[in-house]
């Protein structure tokens, strides 16, 4: 490694739960060369995902120790490879996603996105990749990558080689958000729901996950696509991307006991036969989760993507008689049931065909301006991308 010092956005323990503390600083590698199945990646850009915010806002010890480097929607070029790496060579353009063990029963039978070791390998940041300026050890390998650093040791399993598909650096930067949020939303529609033209899809929460789901539902030709949010600009974007109906929830009081029933009533009234086949819930807000369950028709499925809040002891009260009588289903979903090496190229192909215009959601920021990016994400900016 030519230069042992790098720059990174480092997460420190929050002063209070949910109040993320990110600082742009210099770090030094604890080890100079990648291990046998590691790849040293020169990061060009990284999308900010809601999962970065959730993990970065968790109390110390709940999701691993601080300080640590987050970031899991990276894009860059390979600078060095470990002795056993076979999927990439130095100079190859790569996109990054989650990691996995590849050998447990869930990896081999259900899919690597449900790996038995998923939380430990992706979230805990046990590997102390760097040291801070005062010698403090800093955790890395978040989702196998920690792409909030401009140079990082990455698990080979996190890497999607896009040589020949995305060779231009500017396009590579643009594609960085494909590794989590957009993949999760689109995969939940295409893989988990396997949505058909006869289906009605409800999407609550219009961040990158929700809007990825909207675009995928349009690609699948679903007969109705209902988008729910409280930010008017996001509802407008959903219409542009394929939503057939929208509901602005600003007129509803989420603190009222009737909220879930009222929202469910509005959802079902939008479709002539009232049949809602799938609800993709991305907000994690308990009344909205309940509304989704109430909205579903018989044998309808709730695909829960958003992490219920407050973390980690949320209880979701719902009408079990309605749920049981309607033979409804709930499935917690990770990463859209996507194998990243297959799904990321598929999204790029959709983009090239004009079917998946994810670039409409992106705004670029210098990595040092991460605080501004997070602030803008609360309102108008759907997918901030940090440029190293």
Which pLDDT does position 10 carry in this prediction? 98
Asked if 213 and 319 sit in the same domain, the reply is yes
Asked if 256 and 160 sit in the same domain, the reply is no
Residue 67 placed within a domain: yes
Q: Specify whether the CB–CB gap between 147 and 72 falls below 8 A.
A: yes
Neighbours of 84 (CB within 10 A): 10
- Of 159 and 1, more confident: 159
- Rounded-to-5 percentages of helix, strand, coil across the chain: 35, 25, 40
Residue 346 placed within a domain: no
Collapse the DSSP code of 324 into the 3-class scheme (helix H, G, I; strand E, B; otherwise coil) and give the result. Answer: helix
Asked if 17 and 52 sit in the same domain, the reply is yes
Asked if 11 and 60 sit in the same domain, the reply is yes
Confidence category of residue 24, pLDDT binned at 50, 70, 90: very high
Asked if 74 and 148 sit in the same domain, the reply is yes
Average pLDDT over residues 246-274: 95
Q: Considering only CA atoms, which of 207, 158, 165 is closest in space to residue 179?
A: 158
Residue 366 placed within a domain: yes
Residues in the chain: 388
Confidence category of residue 62, pLDDT binned at 50, 70, 90: confident
Which pLDDT does position 317 carry in this prediction? 79
Q: Which pair of tokens denotes residue 343?
A: 């799904």
140-189 pLDDT, tens digit per residue, is: 999 999 999 999 999 999 999 999 999 899 999 999 999 999 999 999 99
Query: Do strands 159-161 and 93-96 pair parallel, antiparallel, or not at all (unpaired)?
Result: antiparallel
Asked if 20 and 63 sit in the same domain, the reply is yes
* CA distance linking residue 249 with residue 224, whole number of Å: 19
Which pLDDT does position 18 carry in this prediction? 84
Confidence category of residue 133, pLDDT binned at 50, 70, 90: confident
Query: How many domains does the chain fold into?
Result: 2
Residue 111 placed within a domain: yes
Residue 340 placed within a domain: no
Alpha-carbon torsion (311, 312, 317, 322), positive or negative: positive
Residue 281 placed within a domain: yes
Asked if 244 and 365 sit in the same domain, the reply is no
Is pLDDT above 90 for 126? yes
User: Rounded to the nearest 5°, which phi and psi values hold at 172?
Assistant: -60, -45
Angle between the 259-269 and 286-295 helix axes, to the nearest 10 degrees? 40
* CA distance linking residue 37 with residue 280, whole number of Å: 35
- Assign residue 297 the CATH number of its domain: 3.40.50.720
Which pLDDT does position 312 carry in this prediction? 54
Average pLDDT over residues 363-381: 95
To the nearest whole percent, how much of the chain has pLDDT over 90? 89
Which pLDDT does position 331 carry in this prediction? 96
Neighbours of 225 (CB within 10 A): 27
Which pLDDT does position 379 carry in this prediction? 84
100-114 pLDDT, tens digit per residue, is: 999 999 999 999 999
* CA distance linking residue 298 with residue 278, whole number of Å: 11
Is pLDDT above 50 for 2? no
pTM exceeds 0.75 for this model: yes
Asked if 325 and 249 sit in the same domain, the reply is yes
* CA distance linking residue 381 with residue 90, whole number of Å: 34
Residue 345 placed within a domain: no
Asked if 153 and 266 sit in the same domain, the reply is no
Asked if 20 and 59 sit in the same domain, the reply is yes
User: Rounded to the nearest 5°, which phi and psi values hold at 333?
Assistant: -120, 130
Confidence category of residue 32, pLDDT binned at 50, 70, 90: confident
Asked if 244 and 285 sit in the same domain, the reply is yes
Q: Considering only CA atoms, which of 182, 204, 143, 163 is closest in space to residue 362?
A: 182
To the nearest whole percent, how much of the chain has pLDDT over 70? 98
Asked if 73 and 44 sit in the same domain, the reply is yes
Residue 173 placed within a domain: yes
* CA distance linking residue 109 with residue 93, whole number of Å: 30
- Assign residue 61 the CATH number of its domain: 3.90.180.10
* CA distance linking residue 70 with residue 231, whole number of Å: 27
Segments forming the whole domain that contains residue 272: 182-335
- Of 156 and 54, more confident: 156
Q: Specify whether the CB–CB gap between 57 and 66 falls below 8 A.
A: no
Which pLDDT does position 313 carry in this prediction? 58
300-349 pLDDT, tens digit per residue, is: 999 999 988 765 557 777 888 999 999 999 999 999 999 999 999 999 99
277-293 pLDDT, tens digit per residue, is: 999 999 999 999 999 99
């Amino acid at each position: 490694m030519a230069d042992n010092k790098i720059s990174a956005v480092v997460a420190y323990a929050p002063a209070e739960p949910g109040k993320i503390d990110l600082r742009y600083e210099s770090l030094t590698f604890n080890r100079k060369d990648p291990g046998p199945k590691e790849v040293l990646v020169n990061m060009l850009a990284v999308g900010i995902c809601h999962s970065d915010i959730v993990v970065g806002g968790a109390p110390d010890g709940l999701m691993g120790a601080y300080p640590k480097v987050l970031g899991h929607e990276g894009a860059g070029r390979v600078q060095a490879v470990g002795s056993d790496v076979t999927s990439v060579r130095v100079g190859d353009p790569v996109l990054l996603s989650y990691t996995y063990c590849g050998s447990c029963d869930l990896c081999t039978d259900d899919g690597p996105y449900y790996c038995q070791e998923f939380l430990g390998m992706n979230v805990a940041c046990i590997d102390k990749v760097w040291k801070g300026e005062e010698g403090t050890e800093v955790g890395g390998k978040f989702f196998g990558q920690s792409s909030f650093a401009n140079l990082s040791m990455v698990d080979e399993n996190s890497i999607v080689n896009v040589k020949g598909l995305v060779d231009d650096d500017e396009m590579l930067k643009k594609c960085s958000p494909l590794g989590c949020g957009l993949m999760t939303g689109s995969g939940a529609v295409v893989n988990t729901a396997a949505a058909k033209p006869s289906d009605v899809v409800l999407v609550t929460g219009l961040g990158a996950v929700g809007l990825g789901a909207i675009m995928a539902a349009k690609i699948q030709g679903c007969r109705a696509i209902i988008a729910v949010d409280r930010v008017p600009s996001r509802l407008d974007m959903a219409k542009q991307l394929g939503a057939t109906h929208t509901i602005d929830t600003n007129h509803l009081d989420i603190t009222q006991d009737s909220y879930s029933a009222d929202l469910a009533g509005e959802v079902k009234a939008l479709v002539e036969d009232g049949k809602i086949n799938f609800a993709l819930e991305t907000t994690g807000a308990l009344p909205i989760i309940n509304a989704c369950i109430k909205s579903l028709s018989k044998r309808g499925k709730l695909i829960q993507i958003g992490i219920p809040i407050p973390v980690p002891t949320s209880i979701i009260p719902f009408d079990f008689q309605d749920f049981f009588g309607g033979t409804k289903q709930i499935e917690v979903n990770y990463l859209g049931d996507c194998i990243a090496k297959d799904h990321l190229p598929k999204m790029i192909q959709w983009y090239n065909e004009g079917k998946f215009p994810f670039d409409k959601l992106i705004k670029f920021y210098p990595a040092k301006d991460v605080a501004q990016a997070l602030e803008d994400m609360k309102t108008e900016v759907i997918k901030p991308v940090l440029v190293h």
